[in-house]
Structure formats: C-alpha cells, structure tokens
C-alpha cells in the first residue's frame, strides 16, 4: 500500500479517458495502448474528482457528501484502496 | 467490447487506399478523384501496423476490405496485401473493385496472397444498357470479363449491386447472371445519396419499392437455396428483418442462407479508412472521426462522440427509437444522415 498524503493532488494522465454510457456502463480507456478498465458508478464518480487541482482530503469530503448513507470510515478505506489500485495501473499520477 | 464467439471476435475494416478511379459512376459516394494526400507504401504500412496493433490488443481477428476509388490503379496495392497477409491477426482480405482492370497478371498476383478470400465486383445491372448507364460505356463487358478471369483462376467472386430506381427491374436477371457465372455471393446494397450520388437523390427507392425488392430477393434466394444452388445472398443488413422476423439472424436454427436481418455495425465491429488516413464510421456516413496518420486507433474508437451516440440505441429517433427490431436492425445511420442530416434519425426507407 502507498502512503497517501492528505494534501497530495492527483490527476488522470492524458492518455486515459473516462467514459460512461447512459449511466449504466463506465470505463477508463487508455487511448495510447488500448487497455481499458470497466468501472462501477462509484469508481467513475471518484476518478472524475481527480482534476489535478483538488487535494485528496477535499475529494474525500466530496465522496462522503455524494454517498451520505455510507459509513465515512468505510469511504476513507475504499478511497485509499482505489487510489492505490489506480496508481498501480497508472490511471492516477501525482501532480 | 469483449467478444464471446468467433463471429463476435472479428473486426472489419474497409480501407480506401486511393480516390483515383478509371470510372465516374453516377451514384459514387466520392466527391473527388485526385491523388492528393494519397499515402506512400511506408505510410500505408504504418496504418496497417496500427490496425494490427489494435486487433492484437483486443484479441480479435481482422477482415480487411481494400478498395478505392479503384484499388487496381494504385501500385502499392499488392505490396500492402502481402504485408497484411503476413500478420496472424488478419483472418481475411478482400478486394472491392469495379472489375474493369482485371487481367491474367492481376489474377495470378491475387492467387499469391493466400488470405484474399474473395474479390467483390460492382455490377449495377444485369445487362450493358443498365450497368453502362450508371458506370460508363463498355464497363459491363469489361466487368464480366474480369469476373470470368477471376472464376477461371479459382478466385471467389462476390457481386455488389447498388439498388436504385433505374436498375431495380434487373434483379431477376441478376440472379440468373450470378448463377450462370458461378458467383459465390450476392450483396444488394441500398443506394445512399451522398458524394456525387447527391445529384441523383431521386434514384432512391421508396419504402414500398424497397419492400418489394427485398421480398423478391429473399424469395428468390430461398428458391435457389432449395434448388441446391450455392449462391449466398447477403441479407444480414438493416431493414432485412422486416422481410420475415421469424428468420432473424439471432435464430440459430435457421440456416445462414435463409437468415435475414443485421444490425448497423457502426461503433461495434467496423471502421472505414480513407486514402489520406481519415477515419469514418462507415463509408456512406461521411463524418470524419479522426485520422490514423496522427491519432491512435484506440483514441478514435474510444472517444468518438459520433460512435458513442450511435452505440447507445436509446439515442435513435423516430420509429427506430421504439422499434422491437433494434438488436437486429437499428436502421441505416448513413441513410438517415444522407436524407435528414441527422445520423440518429429514423431510417427513411423503413416500411414497418
């Protein structure tokens, strides 16, 4: 697991593109190499928050606000897990 | 975008390697016939590499139809075919031609390219009067000579007939001609008024005329099949499902010769590449969605707004929107665009 700093800012590299089809199917596409990941709606929402300007702690607040019924601690854990996975896949890079 | 069976594991490219042509057909979808921006062999090979790379990444096999303009006017045709022939990602190669330039030497060259499984000849009439009125004087005779040469060399021939008001009466005789000349398959495509063809928009069949033509073709194809003739009549195209919904392609119990209906393949398993690398969703839907000289095929396929709008069948309008046959039809997007400038509009020739 990566040590994730709260104030760190992440972005999706230009070679990746997020796409959703009719609020039913979600992907992140690598338009250079052709790989892609299928996402669920939550992952899609979270990844779309990584705009290269908003720090991680702000994104966490956005996610908690978007899913008020979820346990905030669980949201934190899931967010950390997702960031770790996406960093490993190269879908997120630090600014 | 993943695939489950062999048929779904195919991706089709129609590659127009030149705009130059020795003919000037009245219904042509081109507007220009110049060699401007035409690619060298090195550039063609670079495009081929992009196609092969994409097929490899998607774990799909490619079927590539090389055409023009007239493909036999471009000297890089055979070097390109040879290059594609070597790739394990390529399943089949086709040449789409007007047939008028075919000679013994060309037939021998084609035979050398093992993956060229068929040559498609455009024949727009069953006699010189009809065909030549569309394609030019003497072209019927030359095309027929080309067909004979190909079949004599054991090369499978597909006939492509572009259906218009001026040639619809030739369909019965076209069947006779196809059978007499040992044609492998017959494809009747609707005339889409685009490019130079916009000038003859009145040649488009009415819905009623199209229904009658499709019904005849379907009945005649069944008759020939039942008689044991090997002619394959291609009916896996939009609107064909209207002929007989019980014989939908999805019904595996129906022999392929009798199946009807096919979804518009835009955004699913098909792309068109022009002579300068421009990519179109379909040759008759003239909306550029990228250029393979500067874009990756992945960027075009994954990010084109046009492709995504067409993939989402809920975007279809008019009677196509609520039609029960969407999975086996969805209408011809190019026809909708040519007639209404809205590629999501209903298919104007649908009679349902």
Average pLDDT over residues B129-145: 98
Q: Kindly report, residue by residue over A18-71, the tens digit of the pLDDT.
A: 999 988 999 999 999 999 999 999 999 999 999 999 999 999 999 999 999 999
Q: Kindly report, residue by residue over B143-195, the tens digit of the pLDDT.
A: 999 999 999 999 999 999 999 999 999 999 999 999 999 999 999 999 999 99
CA–CA separation, B196 and B32 (whole Å): 9
Structure tokens at B285: 């839907």
Average pLDDT over residues B68-92: 98
The residues, ordered by sequence, that sit 6+ positions from B161 with a Cβ below 8 Å of its Cβ are B122, B123, B124, B167, B171, B174, B186, B187, B188, B189
Question: Which chain A residues are closer than 8 Å to B313 by Cβ?
Answer: none
Question: Which chain B residues are closer than 8 Å to A29 by Cβ?
Answer: 298, 302-303
Token pair 């999975």: residue: B327
- Which of B131, B67, B114 minimizes the C-alpha distance to B95? B67
Q: Kindly report, residue by residue over B193-216, the tens digit of the pLDDT.
A: 999 999 999 999 999 999 999 999
How far away is chain A from the Cα of B127, in angstroms, using its nearest Cα? Answer: 48
Look at residue B7 in the predicted model and tell me its pLDDT. 62
Least confident of A33-37, A54-58, B1-5, B236-240: B1-5
The pTM of the full predicted model, rounded to 2 decimals, is: 0.94
Q: What are residue A60's phi and psi, to 5 degrees? A: -60, -40
Cross-chain residue pair A34–B312, CB shorter than 8 Å: no
Has residue B8 got a pLDDT over 80? no
A9-94: CATH topology: Outer Surface Protein A; domain 3 (3.90.930)
CA angle B198, B199, B203 (to 5 degrees): 80
Task: Judge contact between B282 and B334, C-beta under 8 A.
Answer: yes
User: What number is the ipTM of this complex?
Assistant: 0.90
| 3-class SS letters over B239-291 | CHHHCCHHHECCCCCCCHHHCECCCCCCCCCEEEECCCCEEECECCECCCCEE
Tell me chain B's radius of gyration from C-alpha atoms. 19
Quick one: angle between helices B207-226 and B171-180, nearest 10? 30
Q: Kindly report, residue by residue over B322-339, the tens digit of the pLDDT.
A: 999 999 999 999 999 999
CA–CA separation, B117 and A22 (whole Å): 39
Average pLDDT of chain B? 95
**Helix, strand, coil percent values for chain A (each to nearest 5):** 40, 25, 35
């Amino acid at each position: 697991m990566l040590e994730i700093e709260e104030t760190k800012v992440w972005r999706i590299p230009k070679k990746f593109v997020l796409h959703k089809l009719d609020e039913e199917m979600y992907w992140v596409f690598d338009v250079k190499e052709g790989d892609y990941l299928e996402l669920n709606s939550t992952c899609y929402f979270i990844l779309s928050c990584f705009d290269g300007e908003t720090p991680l702690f702000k994104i966490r607040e956005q996610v908690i606000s978007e899913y008020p019924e979820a346990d905030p601690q669980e949201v934190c854990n899931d967010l950390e897990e997702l960031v770790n996975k996406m960093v490993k896949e190269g879908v997120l890079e630090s600014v | 975008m993943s695939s489950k069976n062999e048929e779904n594991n195919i991706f089709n490219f129609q590659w127009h390697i030149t705009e130059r042509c020795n003919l000037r057909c009245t219904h042509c979808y081109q507007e220009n016939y110049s060699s401007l921006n035409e690619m060298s062999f090195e550039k063609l090979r670079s495009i081929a590499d992009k196609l092969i790379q994409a097929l490899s990444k998607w774990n799909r096999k490619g079927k590539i139809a090389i055409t023009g303009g007239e493909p036999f006017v471009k000297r890089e045709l055979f070097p390109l075919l040879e290059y594609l022939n070597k790739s394990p990602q390529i399943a089949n190669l086709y040449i789409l031609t007007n047939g008028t330039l075919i000679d013994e030497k060309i037939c021998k060259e084609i035979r050398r390219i093992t993956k060229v499984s068929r040559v498609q000849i455009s024949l727009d009439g069953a006699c010189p009067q009809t065909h030549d009125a569309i394609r030019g004087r003497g072209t019927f005779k030359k095309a027929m000579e080309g067909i004979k040469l190909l079949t004599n060399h054991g090369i499978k021939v597909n006939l492509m007939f572009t259906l218009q008001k001026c040639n619809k009466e030739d369909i019965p005789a076209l069947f006779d001609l196809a059978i007499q000349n040992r044609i492998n398959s017959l494809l009747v495509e609707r005339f889409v008024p685009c490019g130079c063809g916009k000038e003859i928009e009145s040649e488009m069949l009415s819905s009623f005329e199209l229904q009658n033509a499709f019904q005849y073709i379907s009945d005649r194809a069944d008759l020939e099949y039942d008689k044991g003739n090997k002619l394959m009549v291609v009916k896996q195209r939009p609107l064909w499902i209207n002929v007989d919904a019980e014989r939908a392609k999805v019904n595996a119990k129906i022999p392929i010769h009798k199946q009807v209906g096919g979804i518009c393949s835009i955004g699913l398993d098909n792309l068109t590449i022009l002579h300068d690398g421009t990519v179109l969703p379909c040759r008759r839907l003239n909306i550029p969605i990228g250029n393979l000289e500067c874009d990756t095929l992945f960027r075009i396929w994954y990010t084109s707004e046009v492709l995504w709008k067409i993939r989402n069948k809920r975007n279809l309008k008019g009677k196509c929107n609520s039609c029960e046959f969407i999975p086996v039809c969805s209408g011809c997007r190019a026809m909708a665009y040519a007639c209404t400038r809205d590629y999501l509009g209903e298919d104007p020739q649908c009679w349902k």
